[in-house]
Amino acid sequence: MSLKMPAEWAPHEAVWIGFPHLAEEWAGAIDAARADVAAFANAVHDGGRGEEVRLVVNDDAQADIAAKLVDAGVRILVQPLGDIWLRDTGPIIAGTGAARRARNFEFNWWGEKFVMPGDKEVGAALAAGSGLPVDDQYWVLEGGGIDVDGTGLCVTTEECLLNINRNPTLTREDISVRLHQSLGIDRLLWLGKGLLGDHTDGHVDNLARFVGEGRLAIPVAADNDDPNAEIYADARARTAAFGEVEIVDLPSPGRFEIDGELAAASYMNFYIGNSVVVVPTYGVANDQAAIDALAALFPERRAVGVSARGILIGGGSFHCSSQQVPI
């Protein structure tokens, strides 16, 4: 039997979080991005009530910068990396307890679009440092391209997983088989496109997220100007046709632009920690509604809104920058 990838709400031993160090990736706003990431790390650590936070920094100089921003209990881990998006470059843990194994997938810079030294190597390094058995997986998969409910049910997008720039020789059926072998996925909900402005080719962790077994959160368009209204509607239609999943409404931040260009701002990029749910906020009208909605969905956790305006300049938010290590 294949080991299943646990749901994000299952207990965590720790979480890896990437720390920004490439100034050119943040359009002059690297300090804002670092502040956002530090606030995220502190929220997840939750004064020791949450989980161990392993803040991954590129070198000793970055460690010194990070140490001034994070709480004393946050562990700073020096490990060369390219960009901060460890959801995609880091390993994915399958199984629980003594059966856990680190699956180290191939990474090709989101279809060779953003090539950075260190991105291909950081996953293997983190996996080796985890103390878990490591299994190299000889195909491309990014953690942001899938979301699971822990029962073997997975949601993804055709735009990403079937993209010719990822695994050009693999069919839909091939990918389904490999997801089963690697992560124990036996039911696969295929959505269509991801958000407009998402440079990852439609990662599902910006579009639809499981919030319970068989319960999938999908945004509701903020207004008539929401650029993703049709994408949300298509995701709902496909989920309804799938027939096995309850749809849960979450707000959308609506149209969000950075320097006149559409950005993939989404409340779906929340992170479920041991004691908190961290909700990215954008300084827009629906921020509090998103926090309240996730608080209601996870009553045993504290929902915390953390500004993501700085980190979003680099193309993602908190879920993108993190990868959990389940117990």
Element (H, E) at 189: strand 187-191
Dist. CA 122–CA 91, nearest whole Å? 9
Asked if residue 22 is part of any domain, the answer here is yes
Residues 6+ apart with CB under 8 A from 320: 85, 87, 88, 144, 203, 205, 269
Q: What pLDDT is attached to residue 241? A: 99
CATH code at position 179: 3.75.10.10
Angle at 299 between CA 216 and CA 15, to 5 degrees: 75
- Given the residues 314, 320, 322, 325, select the one marked as catalytic: 320
Taking the whole predicted model, whether its pTM rises above 0.85 is answered as yes
CB contact at 8 A, 327 and 12? yes
Asked if residue 4 is part of any domain, the answer here is no
Q: In sequence order, what DSSP letters do the residues of 146-174 get, joined into one string?
A: EEE-SSSEEEEEHHHHT-TTT-TT--HHH
Asked if residue 253 is part of any domain, the answer here is yes
Structural domains counted in the chain: 1
Asked if residue 125 is part of any domain, the answer here is yes
What percent of the chain is modeled with pLDDT above 90? 99
Residues 6+ apart with CB under 8 A from 169: none
Q: What pLDDT is attached to residue 1? A: 64
What is the edge-to-edge ordering of all strands in the sheet holding 12-18? 75-78, 52-57, 12-18, 322-326
Q: What are the pLDDT digits (tens) for 12-69? A: 999 999 999 999 999 999 999 999 999 999 999 999 999 999 999 999 999 999 999 9
Asked if residue 44 is part of any domain, the answer here is yes
Of 99, 41, 93, the closest CA to residue 68 belongs to 41
pLDDT band at 169 (very low <50, low <70, confident <90, very high): very high
CB contact at 8 A, 297 and 279? no
Asked if residue 2 is part of any domain, the answer here is no
Q: What pLDDT is attached to residue 293? A: 99
Q: What pLDDT is attached to residue 104? A: 98
Q: What pLDDT is attached to residue 199? A: 94
Three-state SS annotation for 92-137 = EEECCHHHCEEEEEECCHHHHCCCCCCHHHHHHHHHHHCCCCEEEE
Q: What pLDDT is attached to residue 131? A: 97
Q: What are the pLDDT digits (tens) for 95-150? A: 999 999 999 999 999 999 989 999 999 999 999 999 999 999 999 999 999 999 99
For 102, the domain range is: 12-326
Map tokens 């998006």 to a residue: 85
318 backbone dihedrals φ, ψ, rounded to 5°: -70, -40
In three-state secondary structure terms, 49 is coil
Q: What are the pLDDT digits (tens) for 234-252? A: 999 999 999 999 999 999 9
Is 154 labeled as catalytic in the residue annotation? no
Bridge partners for 182 per DSSP: none
Residue 214 has pLDDT above 90, yes or no: yes
Q: What pLDDT is attached to residue 240? A: 99
Q: What pLDDT is attached to residue 273? A: 99
Q: What pLDDT is attached to residue 136? A: 98
Asked if residue 5 is part of any domain, the answer here is no
Return mean pLDDT, the chain: 98
**Cα 237 to Cα 55, 191, 245, 267, distances in angstroms:** 39, 9, 12, 20
pLDDT band at 310 (very low <50, low <70, confident <90, very high): very high
Higher pLDDT, 3 or 112: 3
Dist. CA 103–CA 93, nearest whole Å? 6
Query: What's the first-to-final CA gap in the chain, in angstroms?
Result: 19
Asked if residue 311 is part of any domain, the answer here is yes
